[in-house]
Structure 1
Amino acid sequence: MGHDRRLVTKEGQAMLEQVRHICAELPEVEEIVDGFGHITLKVRGKSFVIMGETEEGASLSFKSDLESQHLLLQQSGSYVKTRYIGQHGWVSTKMGAPLNWEELSELLKEAYLRAAPKRLARQLLQ
Structure 2
Amino acid sequence: MAHNRQITSKLGLDAENQIREICKALPEVVEQVDGFGHTSFRVKDKPFVMMGENEGVVSISIKTLPTTQEFLLQQPGYYKTPYIGQHGWTSFQAKQDLNWEEIRGYIFEGYLRAAPKSLAKLVSNAEC
TM-score by length of 2: 0.89
Measured in 1, the distance between the counterparts of 2:68 and 2:44 equals: 23
Residue ranges of structure 1 left out of the alignment (5+ in a row): none
The RMSD of aligned alpha carbons is 1.6
Shift of 1:65: 2.5
Shift of 1:37: 1.2
AA paired with 2:59? S
| Aligned residue-pair number | 123
Moved more, 91-100 or 54-63: 91-100
Matches within 5 A, 1:66-77: 66-74=66-74, 76-77=75-76
The ranges of structure 1 where at least 4 consecutive aligned residues each deviate by more than 3 angstroms after the TM superposition are: 94-98
Measured in 1, the distance between the counterparts of 2:7 and 2:114 equals: 23
1:8 aligns with 2:11: no
Moved more, 4-13 or 37-46: 4-13
Change (3 A) 1:78 1:97: farther
Measured in 2, the distance between the counterparts of 1:125 and 1:96 equals: 30
Identity of aligned residues (%): 49
Shift of 1:11: 0.4
Residue ranges of structure 2 left out of the alignment (5+ in a row): none
TM-score by length of 1: 0.90
Query: Which residue does the alignment assign to 1:39?
Result: 39
